[in-house]
């Protein structure tokens, strides 16, 4: 198929299609630092501790489990999600962190998930597990991609896993054999083929959410903090989650605005 992508875009596309994900290191950390500072400030306030200076923010987040009990985790997480999503600049900065990846791989007229999600996994906590799944199986559109941004370095069991595209394609052809099996059974069958994706703070991950993915108990000594948000081309097909309900347009172009507002002139007989 012929195309007119720039070399940079073409290389990213090939990598995304082959691996199911791409990681891009940020040249400018201004937006990420803004987001991280928001989270640290609210976290400290909820816990009733002194807000650390930015240089100590990574240590503070990595060790949040020393001040936060598992029974309080979900309420704590929901408070922070509400706080960051109500910040007038947060979502715009989140988008700009991932803009280059999105424009190259998804499109330049985009719809963004209305609320950005936050995941917090304390060490050895089994209450925050996300069993293996594909977002498409629960009604998401295959035209969506997920932007996954860590607030701390994420590695080994402190990160997420993704089934490699070539392995998933083989499973997809014979998927009926997994009918009636649990997600744990399915994970055991693919465990040796998943990719554990190491992503450091300062990097951005975009992945194909149609591929099976999930996490396991965090066996590291640090807490995992990561955010995720779905993006899609504005005019591509939607699944169960519709524009105006789950998604909102964020980069509508002038020609689209003209087209949406245009009406043929009335001609009186």
In terms of Cα–Cα distance, which of 247, 257, 10, 14 is closest to 111?
247
Asked, for residue 118, whether it belongs to a domain, the answer is yes
Asked, for residue 269, whether it belongs to a domain, the answer is no
Q: What are phi and psi of 184, to 5 degrees?
A: -70, -40
- Alpha-carbon distance of 147 to 60, in angstroms, equals 24
Q: Quick one: pLDDT at residue 248?
A: 97
pLDDT in tens, the chain (269 residues): 557 999 999 999 999 999 999 999 999 999 999 999 999 999 999 999 999 999 999 999 999 999 999 999 999 999 999 999 999 999 999 999 999 999 999 999 999 999 999 999 999 999 889 999 999 998 999 999 999 999 999 999 999 999 999 999 988 888 888 888 888 889 999 999 999 999 999 999 999 999 999 999 999 999 999 999 999 999 999 999 999 999 999 999 999 999 999 999 988 86
The answer to whether 213 and 160 have CB atoms below 8 angstroms apart is yes
Range of the domain at 110: 8-236
The answer to whether 109 and 234 have CB atoms below 8 angstroms apart is yes
Asked, for residue 154, whether it belongs to a domain, the answer is yes
Q: Quick one: pLDDT at residue 232?
A: 98
What CATH code is carried by the domain that includes residue 132? 2.60.120.620
Reading the block at residue 262, the tokens are 């245009």
Residue 66 CB neighbours (<10 A): 9
Asked, for residue 263, whether it belongs to a domain, the answer is no
Maximum alpha-carbon separation in the chain: 79
Number of compact structural domains in the chain: 1
Q: Quick one: pLDDT at residue 208?
A: 97
Reading the block at residue 27, the tokens are 């040249």
- Alpha-carbon distance of 202 to 54, in angstroms, equals 14
The answer to whether 162 and 207 have CB atoms below 8 angstroms apart is yes
- Alpha-carbon distance of 123 to 45, in angstroms, equals 22
Asked, for residue 103, whether it belongs to a domain, the answer is yes
Q: Quick one: pLDDT at residue 51?
A: 96
What is the separation of C-alpha 201 from the centre of its chain, rounded to a whole number of angstroms? 14
- Alpha-carbon distance of 137 to 213, in angstroms, equals 12
Asked, for residue 242, whether it belongs to a domain, the answer is no
β 194-196/161-163 pair status = antiparallel
- Alpha-carbon distance of 32 to 45, in angstroms, equals 20
Asked, for residue 135, whether it belongs to a domain, the answer is yes
CA distances (Å), origin 57, targets 35, 61, 82: 12, 6, 20
Strand locations in 74-190 (E): 110-113, 117-121, 144-150, 161-163
Q: Quick one: pLDDT at residue 1?
A: 57
Q: Quick one: pLDDT at residue 24?
A: 96
β 213-214/110-113 pair status = unpaired
Per DSSP, the residues of 48-98 read: T-PPPPGGGHHHHHHTGGGT--HHHHHHHHHHHHHHHHHSTTHHHHHHHHH
Starting at the edge strand that comes first in sequence, how are the strands of the sheet with 161-163 ordered? Answer: 194-196, 161-163, 213-214
Q: Quick one: pLDDT at residue 174?
A: 83
Asked, for residue 120, whether it belongs to a domain, the answer is yes
């Amino acid at each position: 198929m012929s195309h007119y992508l720039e070399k940079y875009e073409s290389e990213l596309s090939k990598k995304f299609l082959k691996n199911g994900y791409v990681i891009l290191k940020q040249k400018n950390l201004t937006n990420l630092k803004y987001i991280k500072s928001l989270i640290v400030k609210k976290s400290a306030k909820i816990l009733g501790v002194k807000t650390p200076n930015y240089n100590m923010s990574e240590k503070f987040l990595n060790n949040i489990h020393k001040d936060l009990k598992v029974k309080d985790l979900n309420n704590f997480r929901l408070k922070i999600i509400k706080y960051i999503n109500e910040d007038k600049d947060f979502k715009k900065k989140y988008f700009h962190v991932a803009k280059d990846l999105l424009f190259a791989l998804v499109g330049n007229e985009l719809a963004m998930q209305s609320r950005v999600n936050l995941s917090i996994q304390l060490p050895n906590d089994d209450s925050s597990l996300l069993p293996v799944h594909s977002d498409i199986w629960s009604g998401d559109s295959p035209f969506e991609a997920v932007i996954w941004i860590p607030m701390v370095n994420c590695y080994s069991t402190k990160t997420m896993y993704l089934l490699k595209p070539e392995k998933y394609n083989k499973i997809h052809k014979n998927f009926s054999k997994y009918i009636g099996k649990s997600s744990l059974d399915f994970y055991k069958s693919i465990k040796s083929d998943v990719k554990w994706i190491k992503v450091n703070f300062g990097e951005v991950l975009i992945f194909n959410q149609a591929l099976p993915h999930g996490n396991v108990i965090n066996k590291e000594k640090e807490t995992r903090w990561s955010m995720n948000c779905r993006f899609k081309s504005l005019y591509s097909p939607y699944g169960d989650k519709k524009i105006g309900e789950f998604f909102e347009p964020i980069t509508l172009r002038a020609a689209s605005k003209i087209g949406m507002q245009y009406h043929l002139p009335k001609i009186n007989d």
